[in-house]
Amino acid sequence: IKMHTNCRGGLYPRTKDIYRFDVPDDKVSWDVEYKEYQPVDYTAESVLQQPPWADPDIRKSSEPIKIKWNSLDNNIDRQTFGKKYDIYNHVPRNPHGRTGIIGRGLLGRWGPNHAADPIITRWKVVDGHKVKGQDGKPVLQFIAIQRRDTGDWAIPGGMVDAGELVTTTLQREFSEEALNALNLTPEKRDKLRKCLKVFFKNGKEVYKGYVDDIRNTDNSWIETVAMNFHDDNGTSVANLALTAGDDAVSVKWLDIAQSLKLYANHKEFMKKVANDLNGSW
């Protein structure tokens, strides 16, 4: 298991005074004893108010709440892409180790919080010619958004709603964040959905698993399915007018290269895409 780094140390996102308990590299694994470990307990107010995307606070409830861990719990997918997670003190334990914080932080679900990441690519073309990178291979570009919460450039991904198909999440999040679909009239949104449907049919899986996200805690973490949708001849999605929407403040085509700096472990996904399409890295 690859060690997480983004969800360790420092101030927890969107708080002023919630600091993670320090977890040095050699104390990340639960298999290693860490006697001094005293993680802070934090769950954001927005989560405690229990919106539809959040679980109840099982540790504080008077009557027992039945949650089907490691399975499809009615509409909520509590399965992990990794090995089954353990339950300690009635709550799931992050399979990637300590984070210095217990509770759910900004995440709604105990255990895995499922997301989907649509990676839309095209070849970089200038004056009708494919641009080549230093390695002599053609340069790829992907549609990136700038996140409102951290300012980082990222894939326009989002959370899978309860009962939602991942294929739906991929297209919906892309439309909301990169095309500002939430600001369209219902008729126009419907038209857009039908147009995109064809393009979103041919996806290739790039990654499936744990995300090293700054919001992860000892009890809640993000897992994602990243899919690549490639416009090889630049005739469809490559020509879309991009407008940032929802939790994105900017959107643009970004060159895929080793020098990229992206949110969470999204750069890892880009390397895989460049490799799969034989593009420059």
CB of 231 to Mg ion, least distance (A): 21
Q: Which is nearer to ligand RP5, 14 or 27 (CB)?
A: 14
Q: Which long-range contacts (CB under 8 A, 24 or more apart) does 23-28 make?
A: 23/97, 23/98, 23/99, 23/100, 27/98, 28/3, 28/4, 28/96, 28/97, 28/98
Q: Which of residues 142-161 bind ligand RP5 (CB under 6 A)?
A: 154-155, 157-159
Question: Is residue 176 near ligand RP5 by the rule CB under 6 A?
Answer: no
Size of the site for ligand RP5 (CB under 6 A): 13
Query: Is residue 223 close enough to count as binding ligand RP5 by CB under 6 A?
Result: no
Spatial neighbors of 178 by CB under 8 A, at least 6 apart, are 120, 143, 145, 156, 242, 243, 244, 245, 248, 251
CA distance linking residue 177 with residue 144, whole number of Å: 9
Q: 41 CB contacts (<8 Å, ≥6 apart)?
A: 101, 102, 103
In terms of CB distance, is 139 or 214 closer to ligand RP5? 214
Q: Please, which residue, 41 or 149, has the CB nearer to Mg ion? A: 149
In the list 102, 179, 264, 273, the residue contacting ligand RP5 (rule: CB under 6 A) is: 264
Round the CA-based radius of gyration of the chain to a whole number and report it. 20
CA–CA distance, 46 with 107 (Å, rounded to integer): 9
Report which residue type is found at 68.
K
43 belongs to the binding site for ligand RP5 (CB under 6 A): no
Q: How far is the CB of 173 from ligand RP5 (least distance, A)?
A: 7
Beta carbon nearer to ligand RP5, 123 or 153: 153
β-bridge mates for residue 261, sequence order = none
At residue 103, φ and ψ (nearest 5 deg) are 95, -165
Q: Residue 155: which of Mg ion, ligand RP5, none does it interact with, CB under 5 to 8 A by kind?
A: ligand RP5
Q: Mask 226-265, x = binds Mg ion (CB under 5 A)?
A: --------------------x-------------------
The C-alpha atoms of residue 93 and residue 221 are separated, in whole angstroms, by: 9
- The residue assigned the tokens 């919001």 is 215
- Name the minimum Å distance from CB 186 to ligand RP5: 22
The identity of residue 239, as a single letter, is: N
Near ligand RP5 in 197-216, by CB under 6 A: 211, 213
Taking CB under 6 A as the criterion, the residue among 224, 228, 229, 230 binding ligand RP5 is 224
Residues that bind Mg ion (CB under 5 A): 158, 173, 246
* Residues near ligand RP5, by CB under 6 A: 115, 117, 154-155, 157-159, 211, 213, 222, 224, 247, 264
